[in-house]
Structure 1
Amino acid sequence: MIEDNDEIAELRANLDRSSHATCEWKVDNDCVACRFQDYQRECINALNQKVLKRSEIADVMALIGVFAPFIPTSRMTNVFGKMLDHLLTSIKFPAPDIDDLAVMKAHRLNGERDEACETIRSLDRKKRIMIETLMEKLPMKSDKTISEGTFVTNYVSPLLYGTLALDDGRVQIYFPNTECQTQKQQGIKADRPDILIRIRGQEAVFGEVTGPAQAGHTAKNAWDLFRLARFGKAFLDNGNSVAPLLQVVYNNGTFMRLTIKTRGMFILEEIGAFEVPTKVAGIPALAATLPTLLAARDDVQQILDGDMNGLKRSWGYGDVRDAKKRIA
């Protein structure tokens, strides 16, 4: 990603330019942003000494100004110490609004799909269609030989359409694997998201998917997380206040949220996990973790209700006037 001394010097210069004049975010009278800059310097030094590893993905993300306290590394812990405990936020999830007993009864019918679908008639239309689709598409036993494309179509897609899409077309879900237009418009290297949600026609939510074949590929999944941070930064640099991000690694789904905490510092929070059922018997586990996807839906609604790109006029900071000055 960064190979010569000029680029490392530019990282250091960007870090100096993003310094904040006033310490606003403090824990026990200690400025978190100042600590973050110390942490960034450690990461830049490790990069310069060629000892920064891709597996230390939180340290890699720090190079671009993204702080992920839920993925502590030795460098992060050395700089922040016990402060890290105060930086992990607890999330209050929305009510799932789903009949657990109906879902469990449908599951116990064990392959009798018509009868199972009849038991969930009490659910709202979108959740009912989601579960019916999963009952139709999922095997009785997990099949790890399926392709990633089949996994996305039959396993992941029904979850997102059942929770995040709107019938009026203002929120549309795609699985394009094509270049991110937001990144291209900003003149930075464009990656290809596996999941793309457009809100009123604009790219807004990004996701990465790993199918069963590469579920244990730690480096690949870590680098997917780095790409998600880049997607989210591009969206925030367009003048938005929150960037919802999704990562699916086979049956484990994670919803994250990237926001601008203070000058030169983006913070990535892990909001919650959700189950991606890989067999019919896994559907009740999805119902139990559905609040995570409903929290993602709330973020989508927040973007939909707000003024997209509205912060671009001021960036939310009196001393910051363009996107290049906002980033570390």
Structure 2
Amino acid sequence: AAMRSGLKQYPPMAGVPALRQVVADKIAAIYQARYDWNTEITITAGATQAIFTAVLAIVRPGDEVIVIEPVYDSYVPNVELAGGKAVTVPMTAGFRVPWAAVRAAVTPRTRAIMVNSPHNPSGTILRDADMRELESIVVAHDLFVISDEVYEHMVYDGEPHQSASRYPGLASRAFVVSSFGKTFHVTGWKVGYCAAPAPLMAEFRKVHQFNVFTVNTPAQHGLAAYMNDPAPWRDLPAFYQRKRDLFRAGLAGTRFRLLPAEGTYFQLVDYSAISDLGEFDFAKWLTTEIGVAAIPLSAFYEQPVENRVVRFCFAKTDETLKLALERLARL
């Protein structure tokens, strides 16, 4: 409809006003945090661009940025491209953030901490106690936060998503990133957004202007119109929880050991009872010989760690999930 009506030229650099307004309203409705749509919300070419732009806005050569392993694959290269050094802090065996270790990793060169909840690849979430630990660290050491919240609408079992926007001490120093592609299952559109206080957003836009300038017009207008109805994102947790439960129930009848899946559309499994292969080789064998795609957990570490764990994705049709479960049950 946007294209047919002639909306084909460059939009404003920061994004179509109608879309920024509905994003600001959504954040306020869920997290009780009011961002100014004009000065504190920027539409980006996907969440990955938003994260990279935030890094470039604040990280200087020689700065350190703390990241939590296993870590999404763009974080460390982003920091290095900015001239900084990524300092990795590994999660516990149960994929929880060890805040004492994070606190110990802070040095005079630390500039920021990057967090991701719900977490890819583990599917775990940060709870209120986690966010308060993070808040205490960044306030004490005057650090920035880059909060990757692209799976914010995929949190299960009645748990709330704890956005950095909820916590004044975090929100005042955080770039909060989300993704329309993840939320509305249109990842190929590559549209996301970043929310941050006006002084931080001014720095963000200095980079945004010269790495992508702006984001395609028709998709922004389409998303703005679609988001006038909150039902699609409000109903998303129930939609994906049903798929998660279907997939986990099927996997319970296999030799895989299920790990917690509190959020995202990912499921980690331990395959130790099935094979002695390393994670890369097992994932390759599973994909090519069994016909079920999996990602090795070791791919999310700077120095590969072998836990005999792979990641499945359950953002598929029920028919595809049932076919995968039939194949996995034979192992």
TM-score range, shorter chain: under 0.3
Question: What is the TM-score of this pair, normalised by structure 2?
Answer: 0.24
Greater C-alpha radius of gyration? 1
Q: Which has the higher helix share?
A: 1
